[in-house]
Structure 1
Amino acid sequence: MKNLDMSLYLVTDSTYHTEESLLRTVEAACEGGVTLVQLREKHAGGREYLEKARKVREITDRFGIPLIIDDRVDVAMACGAAGVHVGSSDLPVSEVRRILGPDRIVGATAKTVEAARKAYEDGADYLGVGAIYPTTTKVVTIRTEVSTLDAICRAVPIPAVAIGGLNLENMGILDGTPIAGIAVVSAIMKAEDPKKAASDLLGKVRQMRH
Structure 2
Amino acid sequence: MGKPNITFRLYAITGENYHPGRSMVSVMEQAIRGGADIIQLRAKDTSKRELLAQAYALRELTRRYDVPLLINDHIDVALAAEADGVHLGQEDLPLAEARRILGEDRIIGISTHNIAQALEAQAGGADYIGVGPVYPTGTKPGRQAVTTDYVREAAAQVRIPFVAIGGITLDNVDAVLEAGATRICAVSAIVGSDQPAETARAFKQRIRAYNAHGASASSLKQVLINGRQEWTDAVTIAGLVEQYGLGAKRIVVELNGVILAREAWLHTSVDEGAKLELVHFVGGG
Shorter-chain TM-score tier: over 0.9
- 1:16–1:147 Cα change, 3 Å: closer
Shift of 1:21: 1.7
Q: Is contact 2:182-2:207 (8 Å) kept?
A: no
Residue 178 of structure 1 aligns to a residue whose secondary structure is coil
Superposed, 1:43-192 pairs within 5 Å as 43-137=45-139, 139-192=141-194
Residue equivalent to 1:13: 15
SS in 1 for 2:146: coil
Provide the TM-score with structure 2 as the length reference.
Answer: 0.70
1:27 paired residue among 26, 29, 34 = 29
Distance in 2 separating the partners of 1:92 and 1:149: 24
Query: CA distance change for structure 1 residues 146 and 91 in 2, over 3 Å: closer, same or farther?
Result: same
Aligned partner letter, 1:153: A
Match of residue 4 from structure 1? 6
Runs of 5+ consecutive residues of structure 1 not aligned to the other structure: none
Query: Which one-letter code corresponds to 1:33 in the other structure?
Result: G
Aligned residue-pair number: 210
Question: Within 1, Cα distance between the matches of 2:10 and 2:18?
Answer: 21
Aligned residue number for residue 39 of structure 1: 41
The runs of at least 4 aligned residues of structure 1 exceeding 3 Å deviation read: 16-20, 175-178
Structure 2: gaps of 5 or more residues: 213-285
Shift of 1:34: 0.4
Q: Equivalent pairs: percent with the same residue?
A: 39
Q: Which residue identity lines up with residue 57 of structure 1 in the other structure?
A: R
Q: SS of the residue aligned with 2:178? A: coil
**Alignment partners' CA distance in 1, 2:96 and 2:10:** 26
Deviation at 1:177, TM superposition (A): 3.2
Higher-RCO chain (CA-CA 8 Å, sequence separation at least 6): 1
1:55-83 deviation per Cα after TM superposition (whole angstroms, max 9, x unaligned): 01111111100000000000000000000
**Of Structure 1 and Structure 2, which has the larger fraction of its residues in helix?**
1
Contact 1:6 1:159 in 2 (8 A): no
Greater Cα radius of gyration, structure 1 or 2: 2
User: 1:2–1:125: 8 Å Cα contact kept in structure 2?
Assistant: no
Decide whether the 8 Å contact of 1:6 with 1:161 is kept in 2: no
Q: Normalization by structure 1: what TM-score?
A: 0.94
Q: What's the offset of the Cα at 1:140? A: 4.5
RMSD over equivalenced CA pairs, Å: 1.7
Equivalent pair of 2:4/2:68 in contact (CA under 8 Å): no
